[in-house]
Chain A
């Protein structure tokens, strides 16, 4: 068993022991979905069935909601003596961090599955074929991986556990300023441009295209490029901060 696997098992136990974090990560996006689709959905004119429009955006929102749990878990590891124990043992340096990343991806998958399940119950229908769904899964994994490394970096950079929770708020808010809930061209000036060029919009548009059975290569390339870029920034930032915090 590798160090990373041992750390993943440790983190999974943490999650099971402290289910409120998963509960938040799964329940809140579902509540938001019910809000937007049931309560507000009819007020949005998006040119199609609203639940079909909103599902990809809410999948991304579900990913982002899981991130505060990651940051706080990392920060709490760092502020307690246990990290020094791992450091003074011959434990691979990356294992502690990649353990958190793996656990985040796992909880994200649960949250995204819950969103998709609720979406179907609310009347979501997709002409997407098996390969399209595979593409969606791939993009969910990639986005989750990239944002998880960012969340780990934020958790390491934070001085306190509470600070780590706060640091992820921008990541959680970002989907609202993308094409997740309404199309970007319906937004006011300034916000509109921001929404068009921020990383989550091409990711959401790629998923939307895949789920509608009309994938767009341009969006997919932008989405993958953003994910790789974010993952790299998060990873380098994390390892540099980890080294600095003896």
Chain B
């Protein structure tokens, strides 16, 4: 396994506000790495440092084996960056934007490369039109297409689907999966847990400038108690009775609900329902939840409003 991106002890502050407080991470070549975090966690700052747009205050960053500070040129020649806001030239047509990239990257046979990208991103029809007439989704697609000119081996995508409608988001996901199949390494930031879960081989959770967890989606899900059954009751008395019955359950008095940990198989569910029946506890509503990254995120960042029963 070769390392595409290696970061250790990365720190960055703006004035006296610390944005990145000692980040360590490693991305294997040919994988999707997702940096997950809420707004203001430091995702874009991380991308800016990794893509040579910003200098870190401390720490080392190596991209494709090159140091971002001392071998900036080599890093820039290897990477492709798609920022949070579409970096397209509005006064040029779609094709001209791609041509500009092909010229700057000195791509031989630019015309064919451009045709292929236009085809792949479903932009062939819009190619002769000025980008100022494009929709948000089309701009994003063109933006990514521009990033791909010259076949960069490491691609940084900073919140590539923020603000896209669900359909465009699916299209973007498909494109990212295709890139991965081509052997490209992808560093993706997102605030959508589902996106990280869908795409990433490894996820790092960033919160207030620190990585609070790192691992595969499955590893992260294992960090939180497994799945649970959610029970809603009509009366507080029933809630109390059920809470006494199931050790380790968490209750929410306000909504009269109880979360009971379970591994989710049918046998344990049958036992649970039997226990409720035997104790004559009436359940208004019953649902089974498998753990998702939402649970992980809430558990890791400490921002959860669930109260644990003693």
Contact = CB atoms under 8 A, between A and B. Distances in A.
Given A13-B91, A13-B92, A81-B84, 14 more contacts: A1-B103, A6-B100, A80-B87, A81-B85, A84-B53, A84-B81, A86-B104, A87-B53, A88-B79, A89-B76, A89-B101, A89-B105, A90-B73, A246-B54
Contacts of B83: 81, 84-85
A82 B89 contact: yes
Contacts of A17: 91-92, 130
A57 B96 CA distance: 39
B86 A88 contact: no
Given A6-B100, A81-B83, A88 B130 contact: no
26 contacts: A1-B103, A3-B104, A6-B103, A10-B89, A10-B92, A10-B100, A13-B96, A17-B130, A80-B85, A80-B87, A80-B90, A81-B83, A81-B85, A81-B87, A81-B88, A82-B87, A82-B88, A82-B89, A84-B87, A87-B52, A87-B53, A88-B52, A89-B76, A90-B77, A91-B104, A246-B53
Interface string A67-91: 0000000000000111111111111
B87 A89 contact: no
A80 B77 CA distance: 22
Interface residues of B, number: 28
A246 B48 contact: yes
A6 B104 contact: yes
A91 B76 CA distance: 9
A88 to B, nearest CB: 4
Contacts, number: 58
Contacts of B91: 13-14, 17-18
Interface in B126-172: 130, 146
B190 interface: no
B237 to A, nearest CB: 59
Bin chain A's interface residue count: 20 to 34
B51 interface: yes
Nearest to A83: B87
Nearest to B150: A89
Nearest to B152: A89
A82 B76 CA distance: 15
Nearest to A18: B91
A46 B96 CA distance: 52
A88 B53 contact: yes
A188 B176 CA distance: 70
Contacts of A82: 87-89
A114 B74 CA distance: 47
B76 A90 contact: yes
Nearest to B79: A88
A177 B169 CA distance: 58
A29 B73 CA distance: 45
Nearest to B102: A6
A88 B77 CA distance: 9
Nearest to B88: A82
Contacts of B51: 88
A89 B88 contact: no
A7 to B, nearest CB: 9
Given A3-B104, A10-B100, A17-B130, A88 B89 contact: no
A89 B90 CA distance: 19
A18 to B, nearest CB: 6
A1 B104 CA distance: 9
Nearest to A86: B104
Contacts of A13: 91-92, 96
